[in-house]
Structure 1
Amino acid sequence: MKPTPQDILNLSLTLSHGRMNGTTELTCTLFNAKGTIETPETRLTKANIAREYKVDGRDLRTVDAVSEGIPHFVIRPSTIFISLFSLRLLVQSDRVLLIRCGSKDTEPHAFLEEIFVTDLQSKLCGNHRSGFPISLPYEIRVFEAALASVTAHLEAEHSLVRREIEHSLKDLQSEDIASTGPRTLLENGKKLVNIEQRARQMRTAVQELLSNDEDLAAMYLTDQQAGRPHAIEDHQEVEYLLEAYYKSHDAIVESAGALLSEVHRTQDAILSILDVRRNQIMVFEAQLEICMLGFAVSTFVAGLYGMNVVNYLEDSPYAFPSLVAGCVMGTLLLARFGMSRLQKFRRMQL
């Protein structure tokens, strides 16, 4: 049923009474200094979050965005805002607020929050597997847990898609090119492009933070609140941490880029083979049409002599074999002429 102007008006009036973006409540989970959940689910507005965590409203501009957005970090005197796709955190020296985005299972980062929670509790309980000292401040360990979650998710996606692509490339060498292999390769290629793009965005975000010494030094919130602010050049631990994850994302970008190049070369080869086969089919169709033209001419001549009119050949003993031989010769000559012209067209060059 086509909507009427009155339907549009009524729906517009209903939607206009909805809440504005600034007063939209966000579902959040609060973790304490031990990594346990202090408040499983609380609803806060952006204004309440900005006031409680002492950040500017513009810092939370993308906190409730529907899209994943571009990864970025915002460093403030008492808070670190982390936005990594669907993982959005407000980190302080003794607590972290996880803003739930409600990602669907079909989205690329649907399980990112779950990975972060598991990794956060593991790191805060002392099971630190990255090689960095457990004596790092709380906010740095939370920051590392966020980076580790995104990196692990990207590496897992890249590993699985790479396995599927390599399997598709292997199948294309042994199967008919007209099978489902090219379509599967195209779908996996699109997934790989998405992974490469997200890894590149993460690498850029980490690189921008590495190039800002003031933000690196300001990330030590615990020492700053204890009256021991770090000098601008005093940020070696955070710098080493970021460099490690920068290299991890750079490796994903390079590996995905190399695999994409191979996929593109394979797709180009498939297109070339399909073009050749299409041309072969067109030539075969032209040959059939030429032969059918010869048969049609012969049939036309035979039809003329088959009419119930006097043609003075009925009494000749050589009429039938002569007519058959003439039709066959005419068909062969016409087919030969058509084939020669077709061959000439095939040899034409620009």
Structure 2
Amino acid sequence: MQWNKKISVLGVHAEGEIGRVITAGVLDIPGRSMMDKMNYINTVDDSIRRFALFEPRGFSQMTVNLLLPATQPEADVGFIPMQPDCAHALSGSNSMCVTTALLETGMIPMQEPHTEVVLDTPAGLVTATAHCENGKCKSVSLTMVPSFVEALDQQIEVEGLGKLTVDIAYGGCYFALVDANALGLKLRPSEARTLVELGTRIKQAAAAQISVQHPLYPSLNKIEYAIFTGNYEGELRSTNIIYPGRVDRSPCGAGSSARLAVMYARHQIAMNEPVKIKSTIDGRFICEVVAETTVGDKQAIIPRIEGRAWIYSMEEYGVDPSDPFPLGYTLSDTWGPEI
């Protein structure tokens, strides 16, 4: 075996959503801040993203998290979640995966019953509190970045659906929140293909028809996801649709933050009132608003999201010099028509 490139990767999932973690093989990415580093991957050199995510080493139904030295003195480690379309500013489920990987491998010492890890992300600092027992992270509670409502009850024109009302909110990235009940959807596994098809159209329409701009981060200026929200017999469910066209297996941490901002703005939830949000496959997060704040001129909240993550594999990826696909490949059968 003659590899000229190698990375070590842990297989991790949070409530069913795969968030692999690169633990060796990448020293750093150029940039003074994590936002700079994310932008470098997205605009200058995305070879590590393609190497880790594209076939034959990767696949479209996952995220790969890149661990990096922290750029802020308060943080323990930096990380950037890389997905099939690009590197992103924040992911709650992947913050859980990263925290679990750091502590259960000993990269950061685990203290029982609680260990605090401060994560440096492009969207800002996230404080993870791991609840630990017998060397295992039983759960991870995230104090997320400030989240806020951009607009409520916005009408957009969606192909095949006509006029549709959505809410736009930020939870580490921008979401178009769609009332699944209004569309007759119950967010069950049997609806996954329908949700992907509708969600893709809704996201494209919202991104084209509604302008957004984060008050502090110029790069965060587009709606990245459509997330379906439902309430069935008192049980809250969420289904986020991720490029190139798949259902988030977890309830989506950033999306749950955005949903909390909407619920709080509508007076549907009180401060420090925990709610359980389930995913399409019954993964669950416990979510609550723990503080009010401002972001620029916007009223915002601080969300706390708690969930669980599990390590399921330890792998090494490499490339032989004769391999004709050193950065992998994508095909429209699984990666969609937009590749």
Structure having the larger proportion of residues in helix = 1
User: TM over 0.5, yes or no?
Assistant: no
Return the index of the structure with the highest Cα Rg. Answer: 1
Structure having the larger proportion of residues in strand = 2
Query: Higher relative contact order by CA 8 Å / sep ≥ 6: 1 or 2?
Result: 2
TM-score category by the smaller chain?
A: under 0.3
